[in-house]
Structure formats: C-alpha cells, structure tokens
C-alpha cells in the first residue's frame, strides 16, 4: 500500500468514527508518528498535504526537522522528556504532549521564553497507574493545571494519555472517557487565564483510534497504520 493510500485509509477511519459519534472530522487532528522512519517517509506524506507529525526521540527528530525545514510541518513532541533536553525541544517543536513533571514545565517555559515563542503543551496523565509509564496521576491533574497556567511562555491546551491496550472496543473507551472527565473537571474547577479553555485531548493510536474519537479525542497519534512496522536498530 502506498503512503497516499495509507493516509487515505486512516483519514477514512477518522471520518467514519467521527460520523458515528456525531462529531465533525475537522475537529480531529491526525498526528503522523514517524519515529524510526526516515525523513523521506515524512516528506512523502507532507507532499500529500499532511502537516502534523509526531516524534518520540529528540536526536532522531532533530535531524528530520532540519532536513525538512523547507516544508510546512507542525512538529509534535510526544516522547518522554529529559530535563536537559528541554531547551532543544522548545526550540524545535510547536507542541509538546508529554509534560509529566512541574520541573519539565518550568524548564520548557524558560526555554520558550529565550526563543521568543509560546509553546503549546499538554499534561501527560498515567490514567491506569502503570509503573512502566510516565505521567501524573489523575488526582494530580488539578494542581498541575493551575501551576502550568501560571507560566508565561506555555499555552496549556489539555491532556494526553497512553492507556493499557484492550481488544474490547467498549472497554477501550473507558480510560479515554476518564481523561475527558478530567479535562471537563479542570475547566470547571479552575478559572482560565486570558479566557483560554483547555480544549485538547491527545489520545488514540493505530489500534484504537475509533474508541478515542468516540470519547472526544482532538488529536490521534498514528504510526504503524501510516508508516508500516517500525524498524528498531539491533542491539550491539
């Protein structure tokens, strides 16, 4: 299947899921997650008119971003953030989906200020309490929201999560519903800054985007369905 065909197939899935949920497909941003795939694969999709791309690893992403700087691409950082990488992330990316500590938010804010930009960020929530995953616990969300809203160079947009996988379509919706409830609670319990309401839910991947769309996803992060299997370098 060609890149154009894969892009069409994923867009069709999003449209179908949106229609089934009574939503507008244009309210859902498809993030093409290109980790382990070369810049040439990103270029192919960009030339098909796709604009939003996600990367997990800074070193890998930096090379692609510089190589493709002539293209109109919106770059989303979706991986775990090391504190010493915040400056480069703030410089290279338009969105950061994986803010999981106040220390990280503070460093991103300081770096964004140095680059004269306002960075779109989301708080990563460990919705199922998995020890192997990053993210704040659900009960920490209100305090994180209030703290990040106080940063001048960050625009807090919403929440992100990576739940436990489930083969049951109905069960797959449950953690996404809980994330949506957290977003609603944050908007209800906390006064917005400059009228900025939290409006983004980054959730859903290749296997479960329909469940995420049904529960209000604004951004779905799709990798293998667009680029095919990932090819990790063999360990030495």
Cα distance between residue 182 and residue 145, in whole Å: 11
Q: Quick one: tokens of 25? A: 């497909």
Angle at 47 between CA 41 and CA 48, to 5 degrees: 95
Residues 187, 198: Cα–Cα separation, whole Å:
6
Question: pLDDT of 51-72, one tens digit each?
Answer: 999 999 999 999 999 999 999 9
CA contacts within 13 A on the Cβ side of 23:
20
The pLDDT value given to residue 236: 34
Q: What is the pLDDT of residue 130?
A: 86
pLDDT above 50 for 194: no
pLDDT digits (tens, 9 = 90+) for 71-130: 999 999 999 999 999 999 999 999 999 999 999 999 999 999 999 999 999 999 999 888
How far, CA to CA in Å, does 215 sit from each of 33, 83, 211? Answer: 21, 32, 6
**Among 97, 101, 51, 91, CA closest to 74:** 51
Are the CB atoms for 126 and 175 separated by under 8 Å? no
The answer to whether 81 and 116 are in contact (CB under 8 A) is: no
- Can you give the pTM of this predicted structure? 0.94
Q: What is the pLDDT of residue 233?
A: 61
Say if domain 3-227 classifies as CATH 3.20.20.10: yes
Nearest CA among 83, 79, 113 for reference residue 96: 79
Question: Across all residues in the chain, what is the average pLDDT?
Answer: 93
The domain spans of the chain are 3-227
Cβ contact 224:206 at 8 Å: yes
Instruction: Kindly tell me the burial class for residue 197, based on how many C-beta atoms sit within 10 Å of its own C-beta (0-12, 13-18, 19 or more).
Output: exposed
| Both structure tokens of 41 | 């694969």
Task: Report, in this order, helix, strand and coil percent for the chain, each rounded to 5.
Answer: 45, 20, 35
- Residue 29's region, left for phi above 0, alpha for psi from -120 to 50, else beta, is beta
Q: Is the pLDDT of residue 197 over 90?
A: no
DSSP code, position 235: P
What six digits make up the tokens of 4?
A: 């154009």
**Could you identify the residue written with the tokens 């410089």?**
91
In eight-state DSSP terms, residue 152 is: T
């Amino acid at each position: 299947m060609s890149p154009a065909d894969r892009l069409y197939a994923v867009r069709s899935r999003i449209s179908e899921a949106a229609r089934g949920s009574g939503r507008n497909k244009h309210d859902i941003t498809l993030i093409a997650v290109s980790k382990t795939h070369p810049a040439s694969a990103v270029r192919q999709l960009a030339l098909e008119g796709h604009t939003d791309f996600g990367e997990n690893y800074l070193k890998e992403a930096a090379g692609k971003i510089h190589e493709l700087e002539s293209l109109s691409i919106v770059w989303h950082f979706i991986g775990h953030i090391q504190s010493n990488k915040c400056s480069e992330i703030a410089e290279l990316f338009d969105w950061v989906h994986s803010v999981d500590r106040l220390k990280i938010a503070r460093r991103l804010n300081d770096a964004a200020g140095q680059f004269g930009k306002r960075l779109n960020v989301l708080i990563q929530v460990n919705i199922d309490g998995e020890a192997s995953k990053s993210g704040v616990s659900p009960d920490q969300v209100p305090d994180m929201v209030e703290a990040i809203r106080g940063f001048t160079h960050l625009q807090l947009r919403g929440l992100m999560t990576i739940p436990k996988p489930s083969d049951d379509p109905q069960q797959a919706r449950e953690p996404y519903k809980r994330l949506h409830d957290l977003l609603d609670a944050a908007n209800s319990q906390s006064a917005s800054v400059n009228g900025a309401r939290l409006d983004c839910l980054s959730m859903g991947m290749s296997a479960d985007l329909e469940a995420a769309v049904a529960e209000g996803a604004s951004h779905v992060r799709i990798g293998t369905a667009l680029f095919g299997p990932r090819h990790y370098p063999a360990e030495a």
